[in-house]
Homo-oligomer: A and B are copies of this chain.
């Protein structure tokens, strides 16, 4: 039977616990919850108006994602990414986003390329105005990951991105970083425009590696 995607019914009632997961995850990514901050079950229960069951199950999910740490009998805290761990994560991210860039350059559809170009233009426009490029750059990489045709890769890359997002404030505070970053983004765009998979891979990997390098300078060792 032909079932057009347009008719597909999205599940209306998401479990409460997944809303709890999303709330806490977003709060961590947005730095409303800072590394090391305790996530006391009772407080979460009260502030979110759900049962302890839902809160605990949500915390298990987040722990498995690596966004929080649970110490037996002591509770859960927002994961604190050490300097060394940050370097490790950036190394993995560089490799994976390199793969993402390559796949996009090699396989993305015209529509996906147009979407990426649009996202890129938004980054440039925001940069020109002197505003923070954080959101638009996230959007750019979101589009890029979607265009890889590899959902597993996208999911893993996004997960890693979330885990290091707690450090993002540091990266951006480094003077001159944003300018370099823009140039690297331009290189990525150029390689993709040329459908040069190998160049796209190198450009994406380089972009993340540079961010990691800058971060290592800004991080308290």
Contact = CB atoms under 8 A, between A and B. Distances in A.
Interface of A: 11, 13-15, 17, 53, 56-58, 60-65, 72, 85, 88-89, 91-92, 95-96, 98-99, 103, 150-153, 156
Specify how many copies of this chain sit in the oligomer: 2
22 contacts: A11-B72, A14-B72, A15-B72, A53-B53, A53-B56, A57-B57, A57-B60, A58-B60, A60-B61, A61-B61, A61-B63, A62-B64, A85-B151, A85-B152, A88-B151, A88-B153, A91-B103, A91-B150, A92-B99, A92-B150, A95-B99, A156-B156
Given A15-B72, A91-B103, A91-B150, 12 more contacts: A14-B72, A57-B57, A58-B60, A60-B60, A89-B152, A91-B153, A92-B150, A92-B153, A92-B156, A95-B98, A95-B99, A156-B156
A161 to B, nearest CB: 13
A96 B15 CA distance: 33
Contacts of A152: 85, 88-89, 92
Contacts of A11: 72
A82 to B, nearest CB: 11
Contacts of A96: 92, 95-96
Nearest to A17: B60
B13 A72 contact: yes
Q: Which of A53, A64, A89, A151 lies at the interface centre, i.e. has the most chain B CB atoms within 10 A of its CB?
A: A64
Contact of A150 (B53, B88, B150): B88
